[in-house]
């Protein structure tokens, strides 16, 4: 059982050994650039942890792990165009640094390269099984992104629809990473299914937590302005829950704030937060998160594997779900 940092080292070594081609540079440099913005490599690490529930030779699963990371970065590159986002982690997005044509085409080739790495697994039946899981989840991620786009112009989004959107847009990829780790290890279909559910449900819990932290996190730990979602008038779970259950004056006040500019950001954040607070929204959301979290860990416990094998994975997901920012 290797530590998270040891797994990240293995992933980064694989990435260094398998860079994008050099030519044409206009196509591939934006891909390499995107990977430098792309973050913590948690998805491939989680895939390897899924693999290590059953086997030790993680090198075997690295092509699949890297495929998941490339897929994630492809979605970020195209989503940034659709969201007209100028920055990612404080640096220019690809369509800002280059242009929209570049971000479309480099994103396309990044997706194709994800499949290229899947095909590098030695065994044909493993590749077919991975391909089926990968195609299913890639389709779901597109469907989730489409739901997110649709929600922007709708005022009647239900909480169930919102949770289904975050499930498809982000949570299923965590489930697929664990499922693919199990497939690489030739684990049983039953184990792969439980791991898929574990990742998917934990992924929903993460997203609920993200919504909560954006409004209630510790600014020092968050690394960004608290209340960003409020200032952008995002229809987060906090907003939807308030619209669903708060008394009419609070609903009207919230809707009014969401149509107000952010000339006085602190005032706006405090006012909206006060509406959430007096309707007990943070506690209700924390309970919702806990519900998904408990269901998730039930699936992890149901996976049949040798004692102690689950420790690294369980600890990492627990830590991620308990962070305060």
Q: Which residues of this protein are in contact with a second copy, per CB under 8 A?
A: 23-24, 26-27, 78, 81-82, 100-101, 104-105, 107-109, 111-113, 115-116, 118-119, 124-125, 127-128, 131-132, 134-135, 138-139, 142-143, 145-147, 149-150
Please say which residue, 107 or 175, places its beta carbon nearer to a second copy: 107
Q: Which candidate, 43, 41, 49, 51, places its Cα nearest to that of 15? A: 41
- For 187, residues 6+ apart whose C-beta sits below 8 A from its C-beta are 53, 54
Computed from CA positions of residues 241, 243, 249, 250, in that sequence, does the dihedral angle turn out positive or negative? positive
Please say which residue, 20 or 309, places its beta carbon nearer to a second copy: 20
CB of 99 to a second copy, least distance (A): 10
* CA–CA distances in Å: residue 182 to residues 157, 185, 250: 35, 5, 48
CB of 84 to a second copy, least distance (A): 9
Angle at 44 between CA 39 and CA 47, to 5 degrees: 150
Q: Can you tell me the distance from the alpha carbon of 107 to that of 287, in angstroms, rounded to the nearest whole number?
A: 38
CB of 281 to a second copy, least distance (A): 28
Please say which residue, 154 or 221, places its beta carbon nearer to a second copy: 154
CB of 22 to a second copy, least distance (A): 11
Please say which residue, 138 or 230, places its beta carbon nearer to a second copy: 138
Q: Can you tell me the distance from the alpha carbon of 177 to that of 183, in angstroms, rounded to the nearest whole number?
A: 10
Q: What is the DSSP letter of 156?
A: -
Please say which residue, 115 or 314, places its beta carbon nearer to a second copy: 115
Q: Can you tell me the distance from the alpha carbon of 267 to that of 258, in angstroms, rounded to the nearest whole number?
A: 13
Burial class (CB in 10 A: 0-12, 13-18, 19+), 252: exposed
Please say which residue, 82 or 287, places its beta carbon nearer to a second copy: 82
Q: Which candidate, 119, 144, 122, places its Cα nearest to that of 134? A: 119
CB of 13 to a second copy, least distance (A): 23
In the chain the first and final C-alpha atoms are separated, in Å, by 28
Please say which residue, 115 or 210, places its beta carbon nearer to a second copy: 115
Q: Can you tell me the distance from the alpha carbon of 81 to that of 99, in angstroms, rounded to the nearest whole number?
A: 9
Q: Which candidate, 206, 176, 213, places its Cα nearest to that of 288? A: 206
CB of 138 to a second copy, least distance (A): 5
CB of 34 to a second copy, least distance (A): 15
* CA–CA distances in Å: residue 209 to residues 85, 98, 217: 22, 33, 10
Please say which residue, 78 or 194, places its beta carbon nearer to a second copy: 78
CB of 30 to a second copy, least distance (A): 10
């Amino acid at each position: 059982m290797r530590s998270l940092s040891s797994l990240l080292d293995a992933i980064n070594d694989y990435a260094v050994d398998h860079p994008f081609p050099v030519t044409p540079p206009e196509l591939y440099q934006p891909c390499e650039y995107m990977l430098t913005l792309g973050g913590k490599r948690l998805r491939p690490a989680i895939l390897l942890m899924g693999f290590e529930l059953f086997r030790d030779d993680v090198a075997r699963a690295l092509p699949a792990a890297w495929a998941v990371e490339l897929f994630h970065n492809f979605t970020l590159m195209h989503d940034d165009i659709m969201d007209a986002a100028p920055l990612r982690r404080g640096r220019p997005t690809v369509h800002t640094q280059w242009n929209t044509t570049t971000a479309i085409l480099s994103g396309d080739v990044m997706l194709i390269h994800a499949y290229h790495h899947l095909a590098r697994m030695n065994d044909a039946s493993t590749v077919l099984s991975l391909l089926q899981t990968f195609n299913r989840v890639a389709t779901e991620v597109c469907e989730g992104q489409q739901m997110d786009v649709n929600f922007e112009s709708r005022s009647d989004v239900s909480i169930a629809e919102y949770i289904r959107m975050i499930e498809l847009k982000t949570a299923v990829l965590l489930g697929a990473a664990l499922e693919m780790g199990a497939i690489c290890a030739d684990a049983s279909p039953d184990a792969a299914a439980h791991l898929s559910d574990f990742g998917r449900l934990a992924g929903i819990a993460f997203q609920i937590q993200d919504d909560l932290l954006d409004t209630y996190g510790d600014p020092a730990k968050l690394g960004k302005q608290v209340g960003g979602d409020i200032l952008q008038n995002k229809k987060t779970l906090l907003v939807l829950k308030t619209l669903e259950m708060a008394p009419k004056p609070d609903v009207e006040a919230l809707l009014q704030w969401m149509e107000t500019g952010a000339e006085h950001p602190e005032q706006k954040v405090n006012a909206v937060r006060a509406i959430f607070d007096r309707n007990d929204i943070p506690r209700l959301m924390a309970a919702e998160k806990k519900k998904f979290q408990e269901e998730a860990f039930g699936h992890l416990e149901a996976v049949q594997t040798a004692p102690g094998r689950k420790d690294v994975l369980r600890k990492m997901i627990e830590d991620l779900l308990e962070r305060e920012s």
